[in-house]
Structure 1
């Protein structure tokens, strides 16, 4: 396997026979949590920006090489979306003090990101359908990650109000 394919499949997780996007997102979650815990949110944010930019260029090169757009085994976009959702939920979670808020932020950020990534409402779907190349592959997941993070934060804050 080439380094390019290793990157685009997020260390091979996109090669899963079923639900490669979900497997890629699930693999990105503990990776993101480890970076948050050991290096901080700033490091995860910078990594997310770098991977997004590199992903746009690498997807363009890969699509030119294979002649196919948005192949299911390309899941680096899911990693970026998952990390964005995680960062937004995490930044809300650290302001809360109820039990299990940390675990709930992980669960909600994953579930909400997958919801928006699969459902693709509004602008997310428009970008996915109409934008070609690396921008189309990466940016719909960037928006799905932001939407997932915001939904996760709303749920976490709602629980805080109830408790």
Structure 2
């Protein structure tokens, strides 16, 4: 465990810590954004399966708002700017990417979730324009928005694929 986590001035049971790391998935070794995105997918499936569009939309809005709060608190307490273990932004982004799975009247398969995951991670890792504009902002809003934009871009590609294939 990283020494700064052991020295976290608040408890690792603090809601901001749990939410920002998406139930500690961001603390897994190597590629925390990938782990956070993977940990968010079962929740996307639940939101889609049981909440349909209103459920997923509410989850996106809620994760964005609580993500701004939790990542701000996490950054303040840890004294770090855009820590990799903060993955609530990936949660919001992958859920946005999954929107076409509801909007297109076609059966949703495991492969669709895999494609949503791959497209989102591609945009989140490469950070093409306009994603990089938000990535350069060292604030909780910037942390969240770069993944929101990555999610929108990935969702548009997923939507195009689902429409034409």
Residue by residue over 1:117-157, the C-alpha shift from the partner in whole angstroms, topping out at 9 and shown as x without a partner, is 0010001011101x121111000000101111111111122
Structure 1 residues 4-60: Cα deviation after superposition (integer angstroms, max 9, x where no partner): 111100011000111110011011011110121112221121121012012112222
Q: What do the CA deviations read for 1:88-130 (whole angstroms, capped 9, x no partner)? A: 33322xx236xxx53332121111111100010001011101x
SS state at 1:40 partner: helix
Aligned counterpart for 1:12 among listed residues 24, 42, 59: 24
Q: 1:96 aligns with which of 106, 129, 135?
A: 106
- How many residue pairs were aligned? 153
8 A Cα contact 1:55 1:76, kept in partner: yes
- Return the match for 2:64 from 35, 38, 52: 52
Alignment match, 1:138: 144
Alpha-carbon distance in 1 for matches of 2:34, 2:25? 9
State TM-score, norm by structure 1: 0.87
- Determine if the alignment matches structure 1 residue 150 to structure 2 residue 160: no
RMSD: 1.4
Q: CA deviation at 1:158?
A: 2.4
Higher helix share goes to which structure?
1
2:120 equivalent in structure 1: 113
8 Å contact kept, 2:21–2:86 = yes
Counterpart contact for 1:89–1:150, Cα < 8 Å: no
- Which structure 1 residue ranges, 5 or more long, are not aligned? none
Alignment of 1:15-26 (within 5 A): 15-26=27-38
Moved over 6 A (4+): none
